[in-house]
Amino acid sequence: MLDRGARALGLNLTGAARDRFERFLEELLAWNDRAGLTSITDPDEVQLKHFVDSLTLAPLVVRHLAGGSGTVVDVGAGPGLPGLALAIVLPDLEVTLVEATGKKVVFLLHAIKTLALGNARAVRGRAEEIARQPEHRERYDLATARAVGSVATLVELLVPLLRVGGRAVLMKTRTGIDEEIAAAASALDRLRCVVDAVEPVAPPDLCETRVLVVLRKVAATPPTYPRRPGVPARRPLRQA
């Protein structure tokens, strides 16, 4: 299932990558009750809706980061999607997983260790706070998030973490995306970024139609952003 999806995306999984995904699947299901990781528990469905869906990001990452090497931050990583999937297929990538919920971070640390992923690390905290730390602010080549919030909210959570010239890639559902992007005009302005592309992706056998919204950071983030924890989601930036 996973192989077929990966091939359709132009990715050739190595034996090591396949082994890691197998282990990832086992650990995800074994820890699910304890850590509340996913509502999807059928192994085939996990492979498609979590793993293959996450991998739709890989070709784009390779395109933007020469040879797939560079730094990526996954905000609201949950059980490591898409971040751990990227770390598995692109070993030259350095992936930072930011997650607010403690028990999910415990799972992420366990998964990183068990899968022996030397190119991934997990950081516990809210993106709003992490983005205030010099170690993380304006540091990353690429930022991504899946199932974390609206475009306007994600702009405020992701863009402060990017270096100028870096890209944010939002994994979204196609339905209503134009309206959501239009509603984010003010957020894009204030966070000094532009929409580079809205790329449809069609993972095989995935019933949902997915889209990747690619943003480019054109100038440094004003010091007022992001606002306090919770505010970007509760009161997304609107027209002034």
Q: Which residues bind ligand SAH (CB under 6 A)?
A: 75-78, 81, 98-101, 104, 126-128, 146-148, 157
The nearer residue to ligand SAH, 62 or 130, going by C-beta atoms, is: 130
Closest to ligand SAH by CB, 64 vs 126, is 126
The Cα–Cα gap between 5 and 47 comes to 9
Quote the CA–CA distance of 153 and 92 in Å, as a whole number.
29
Measured from the CB atom, is 23 or 124 closer to ligand SAH? 124
CB 159 within 8 A of CB 88: no
| Residue closer to ligand SAH, measured from CB, 126 or 172 | 126
Toward ligand SAH, which CB reaches closer, 154 or 215? 154
Q: How far is the CB of 3 from ligand SAH (least distance, A)?
A: 21
Q: How far is the CB of 168 from ligand SAH (least distance, A)?
A: 14
DSSP conformation letters of 111-160: HHHHTT-TTEEEEES-HHHHTTSTTTTT-EEEEEEESS--HHHHHHHHGG
Q: Give kind and range of the element (H or E) at residue 42.
A: none
- Measure the CA–CA gap between 182 and 48, rounded to whole angstroms: 30
Q: What is the CA radius of gyration of the chain?
A: 17
Six-digit token string for 27: 């650990």
Closest distance between ligand SAH and the C-beta of residue 143, in Å? Answer: 12
**How distant is the alpha carbon of residue 16 from its chain centre?**
22
Min dist. Cβ of residue 75 to ligand SAH (A): 6
- Least distance between ligand SAH and beta carbon 144 (Å): 9
Cross-strand pairs, 123 = 98
Residue 78 makes CB contacts below 8 A (sequence gap 6+) with: 37, 38, 99, 104, 147
- Nearer residue to ligand SAH within complex by CB, 14 or 104: 104
Tell which residue, 93, 111, 100, 26, has the closest CA to residue 55: 93
Extract the tokens encoding 121.
């690390």
Smallest distance from the beta carbon of 198 to ligand SAH, in angstroms? 19
